[in-house]
Amino acid sequence: MIELVSKDRCVTCDRCVEACPTNVFDRGADGIPVIARQSDCQTCFMCEAYCPTDALFVAPTVTPLPTGDPLRNEDHLVATGLLGSYRTGLGWGHGRTPGSRLAVGPDLTPHKESSHQAASNGRSCSPCRLISGR
């Protein structure tokens, strides 16, 4: 669930208020978005992806974290490289290569290397989809 809105990083652009598909944020009086309905957060990480300044952090857990949990601590998240890590993974942001350009996923059926090569002619294994659904 969404756990952090960094006051220092936020540029009050309202992108997260707009982009959150389950309407978790309200506009705060000072412009900083408020986590108004945390229980509606579906932990989809999309607000993080849309935040231009990496001011948001979504913990992967589906229940709120206790006060004092390191994943609610901005300094810890910066130090561990977790803050903004989804945007890095997606290749979103100035000067980055869109992750979709590089998104050649694995074959979805574990193969023995040789049979895969035979089936694939050096490209892709035809019964498999390289990038898949769930």
Residues that bind another protein in the complex, under the rule CB under 8 A = 17-23, 40, 42-46, 49-50, 58-62, 71, 82, 85-86, 89-90, 92, 98-110, 123-124, 126-127, 129-134
CB of 55 to another protein, least distance (A): 17
CB of 114 to another protein, least distance (A): 14
Cα distance between residue 76 and residue 15, in whole Å: 24
4 membership: H or E segment, kind and range: strand 2-5
CA angle in degrees (0–180, nearest 5) for 97-99-104: 125
CB of 12 to another protein, least distance (A): 16
Cα distance between residue 74 and residue 55, in whole Å: 9
Between 13 and 71, CB nearer to another protein: 71
